[in-house]
Structure 1
Amino acid sequence: MSHNTISLNKQRQPLDHLDSVWLFGYGSLIYKTDFDYLDAKPACIYGWQRRFWQGSHDHRGTPEAPGRVLTLIEEPGARCVGMAYQVTPDTFEHLDHREKNGYLRVFTPLHWLHEPGETGGVVYLASPDNEAYLGPASDAEIAAHIAKSRGPSGPNSEYLLKLAQALRDMNEQDEHVFAIERQLLALSP
């Protein structure tokens, strides 16, 4: 599958018939909301965990030297905390462009963190069959890759460090993110 997924997302997941949609963010969408939203709440999804296994050719890297950003992988019993944003369907014009590098929209149940209940929502996932997928590596290898990567949205390290801080601000422990952050900081003089 091509890493530019804009038209595929529009084809697979038309949303025009809805008044609003809940979007689940687990990476940069937690700390970088460059879109309008109607409401925002901390939420989680079950059965998924964050991994720095997706290449970024357009934001935190370049086509010649992609950075590493997050995707989700299935893991029974796992819980992934992030932010849910209630948005209007026209917001996906911007979001599909922002998340075009191999990510497909998938519907999933969202569970609220600080109140009972759940709702249906959309999450962007980059599966192993997209051209930008980099796959697993050790924490040290991922940190070294992130340390040297830079793209139009800035240094790849900024993505990691801002995410780690946002997760701390939410009182959320994510061992994968924090282990890579420790490795990255150890590389700095």
Structure 2
Amino acid sequence: MTTTHASDDDFWVFGYGSLMWNPGFSALAAEPAVLNGYHRSFCIYSTHYRGTRERPGLVLGLAPGGSCPGVAFRVARGEAELVRDYLRERELCGYAYVEATLPVSLRDGRVVEAYTFVADPSHRQYAGELGVCASAAIIMEAVGRTGLNRDYLIKTVKELEAHGVLEPSLHALLEEVWRRTGEVEAGQGI
């Protein structure tokens, strides 16, 4: 398959976490896509949506290396500034993200430039790669403005599976969260 660049005048947004299942804006289309050069990682402390200052949660960021399947949303060019402003307010509210426009590959072979957010390792809320056990412990305990941190993980895994993507690192994390849930329900504590 030959790779061609899309030539339309639409604005593209790449979602790899909650944007996949809760974009919060109108899109003309939502297509499976892959971003090369970055991978999805629970590397950002959440003190707003999925945690608090007292008990931070973890949310996804794009860390360097590998590739990241996600969803590319096509937005009408006339809505671009409105969507960009909305996403800045949603994603840059104290979190360790940097705005970026990066090439993503759609399933039909087209490559589009998509607006997204990558992790900022210099930010105080950047957690880095914590490992499965440490991440699961944080995710199990955290609750924020939009709900349980573990629901964020579950919804992300389900959305990826709906697009035919099985991500071993997220499944391992989810298995550890389920194991810890069983311990809490059995009264063993964490």
**Fold conserved (TM > 0.5)?**
yes
| Bigger Rg, which one | 2
Instruction: Tell me what 2:90 maps to.
Output: 98
Instruction: Tell me what 2:32 maps to.
Output: 42
Instruction: Tell me what 1:79 maps to.
Output: 67
What are the within-5 Å matches in structure 2 for residues 1-189 of structure 1? Answer: 20-75=10-65, 78-87=66-75, 88-100=80-92, 101-113=95-107, 115-189=108-182
Q: How many residues align?
A: 168
Q: In structure 2, how many angstroms separate the alpha carbons of the residues matched to 1:94 and 1:73? A: 23
Q: In structure 2, how many angstroms separate the alpha carbons of the residues matched to 1:156 and 1:27? A: 12
Q: In structure 1, how many angstroms separate the alpha carbons of the residues matched to 2:53 and 2:83? A: 26
Q: Is the 8 A contact 2:36 2:68 kept in 1?
A: yes
Q: In structure 2, how many angstroms separate the alpha carbons of the residues matched to 1:40 and 1:167? A: 13
- Which amino acid letter does the alignment assign opposite residue 20 of structure 2? I
Name the Cα RMSD after superposition: 1.2
Q: Is the 8 A contact 1:21 1:89 kept in 2?
A: no
- Which amino acid letter does the alignment assign opposite residue 85 of structure 2? E
Q: Is the 8 A contact 1:60 1:149 kept in 2?
A: yes
Q: Is the 8 A contact 1:24 1:123 kept in 2?
A: yes
TM-score, normalised by the number of residues in structure 1: 0.84
Q: In structure 1, how many angstroms separate the alpha carbons of the residues matched to 2:152 and 2:22? A: 10
- Which amino acid letter does the alignment assign opposite residue 123 of structure 1? T
The Cα of 1:120 is off from its aligned counterpart by 1.0
Identical positions, percent? 30
Write out per-residue CA displacement over residues 134-161 of structure 1, whole angstroms, 9 at most, x where no aligned residue: 1221201101110000000100000000
The Cα of 1:63 is off from its aligned counterpart by 2.0
The Cα of 1:90 is off from its aligned counterpart by 1.1
Q: In structure 2, how many angstroms separate the alpha carbons of the residues matched to 1:136 and 1:81? A: 19
TM-score, normalised by the number of residues in structure 2: 0.84
Q: Is the 8 A contact 2:15 2:70 kept in 1?
A: yes
> Could you list the runs of 5+ residues in structure 1 that have no partner in the other structure?
1-18
Q: In structure 2, how many angstroms separate the alpha carbons of the residues matched to 1:102 and 1:132? A: 6
Q: In structure 2, how many angstroms separate the alpha carbons of the residues matched to 1:98 and 1:32? A: 12
